[in-house]
Amino acid sequence: MKKLLSVVLTLLLVSLFTVYASAETENVAIGASYEVLGILTDGDGKVHYPDENGDSLTNNVFAQSASYSELEFVGLNITSQETSANNGISEIRLDLGKAHPIVNAAVSCSNLNSAGITLPAMITVTYSVDGQNWSEPVTAEYEVDTPADGEVVMAVASIYAEARYITFQLTHATNWIFIDEVQAFAGDISNPEKPEESNDANTENGGQSTSAPEASQPLGNAPDTTQLSTDWIYIVGVAVSIAALIAAIIYRTKKK
């Protein structure tokens, strides 16, 4: 009986580790090249809040505070030529070098209202394997519900598809948006933990596309039925594991 118990416990630990490992992701945007639309050059040719070395957004370094004086931030201005010509939307176009299975993409933004720097009113992400065929826009959600003034806030878009090119479209709430990093996390895209996206953000900008996941399927998302059944296998597996673990502990306690 003891042998059986140790076998069961070992199997449980292995299965729990497998579940944990499948949730691991890696930021494959570190060191990736990108293009920015929205840096402001004034009439005298002065560049305001530039991307000093052209690597601030993928160097895996974050600003120490929300301040505009932090060199890690790249300033994007709604009156810049590029943003003006792009319907008031600034963009960061990331090239990962090759296609990766992308679980989600994130962008880090300063929220310093007291200095006229606000979070984008909306962030949408589109992605592509070949740079020709693009997904429908996916709305990124802020990780903080009510960001405080002076806080740096991350917005995350759920992707679950192969992608090499990822474009962040940043709709301005005010003149300035300050960004210090963009990220793209590769991992297991076969098992999306579907956060059912609300369409609230989409309605703010009537022109943008609505719900995203269905539209992004042509680029490689698994069908919903597969996702659901895989989810349930994990949930049942973990539940059985925990029940068996408790039973084993009770059994051993009684033996003593």
| Shortest separation between residue 72's beta carbon and Ca ion, angstroms | 5
CB contact at 8 A, 179 and 76: yes
Closer residue to Ca ion (CB): 91 or 180: 180
DSSP string for residues in 118-176: ---SEEEEEEESSSSSBPPPEE-EESSSSPPTTEEEEEEEEEEEEEEEEEEEEE-SSSE
DSSP letter, residue 251: H
| Shortest separation between residue 61's beta carbon and Ca ion, angstroms | 4
The number of beta carbons lying within 10 Å of the beta carbon of residue 48 is 13
| Shortest separation between residue 7's beta carbon and Ca ion, angstroms | 48
Give residues in contact with Ca ion (CB under 5 A).
56, 59, 61, 72, 180-181
Closer residue to Ca ion (CB): 53 or 132: 53
Closer residue to Ca ion (CB): 15 or 59: 59
Nearest residue to Ca ion, scored by beta-carbon proximity: 181
| Shortest separation between residue 112's beta carbon and Ca ion, angstroms | 17
CA distances, 134 to each of 54, 59, 138, 219 (Å): 25, 26, 11, 8
The number of beta carbons lying within 10 Å of the beta carbon of residue 3 is 7
Diameter over CA atoms, the chain = 84
